[in-house]
Amino acid sequence: MPTSKNENLVSKYIQIFLIICGYWTVSILTVFVNKRLLSETNLNAPMSVALFQTFITALICFILIQLSSFFPRYCKFTPGNPFEAGVIKDVVPVSLLFTAMIATNNLCLKYVSVAFYYVGRSLTTIFNVIFSYLILSEKTSCRSLCCCFMIIFGFYLGVDQENLAGSLSVNGTIFGVTSSLSLALYSIFIKRVLATINQDIWLLTYYNNIYSTILFIPLMILNGEIVTLWEYDDLVELKFWLLMTVGALCGFTIGIFTSLQIKYTSALTHNISGTAKACVQTILATYWYQETKSFLWWTSNGIVLIGSAGYARVKQLEMERKYKSANVYQKV
């Protein structure tokens, strides 16, 4: 019996290890592939790249929903009609934030280096605290605020060091901050919309990507990308479409690994894993692109990483205390 128990424990740890490795691999690959598409090719069409990726994700979700009706034992996806009036009313406002988040994220990655990308988008936690207070009237503890100030200082130091190095992109930094703002708002409002679709995150993914595909069409036109695509020489090249497809599949797969990581570990472990992944991603980026960074530049990254991990840990401890207090109150 003890041997069987130990074997199950080892099997569980191996499963968690493989899930975290999968999340890291796909997440880092997604950033590098998108960077390649957005700024290392001659294609200046970030909205078109985003449209293709949301379309592929929506298509995969649609296929999986259809397969669910034929093979319910192996494929379980809840069917849904994205064009129902009630669904449109509930989900489209969140999809607007989802679209803004993807668009500004792509624009940020277009202008900044992969090494600076994490710091450029590091203010999500700060905006989350601000909007949680303004919208949900949730107050933040002093320890959480201390972690937030660490993140802000790390962000400021990182921007300053990028500027001193002559590699600062003001546009990229602004888009990074805007992406952080959009993500913070999205994470707040997503809780409300999930309540209307039975907490089905995959159904929301399906709806979001359909609406975003539609929304990216006028954005693509307004950004003048129709002419850009028409004049792009590599549009008929197999290599280009292979890269686009890999980016789209990575965008879909990262959602699967994110859900698995939270399911088999916890939201805290997911946050810490994401923070550690960002550190590895930054190191890989400096090596891959042969970038030399100053000591203070690395310090700024370290401050942001420690502040983010510290905030996640403080919030987890606060949630545990609330849970224990609620249980004690119910027993009384």
- Give residue-wise pLDDT tens across range 86-105: 889 989 998 999 999 899 98
Q: Is the pLDDT of residue 240 over 60?
A: yes
Mean pLDDT, residues 47-52: 92
Using a pLDDT cut of 70, give the percent of the chain over it. Answer: 92
Q: What angle do CA 88, 90, 92 make, to 5 degrees?
A: 55
Task: Give the tokens for residue 5.
Answer: 């128990």
Mean pLDDT, residues 172-179: 91
Mean pLDDT, residues 123-144: 86
289 neighbors 113 (Cβ within 8 angstroms): yes
In sign, the C-alpha dihedral spanning 33, 39, 41, 46 is: positive
Q: Which residues, other chains included, contact 178 with Cβ-Cβ below 8 Å and sequence gap of 6+?
A: 100, 104, 108
Q: Taking Cα atoms as reference points, which of 101, 208, 113 lies closest to residue 161?
A: 113
State pLDDT tens for residues 72-85.
Answer: 777 777 778 888 88
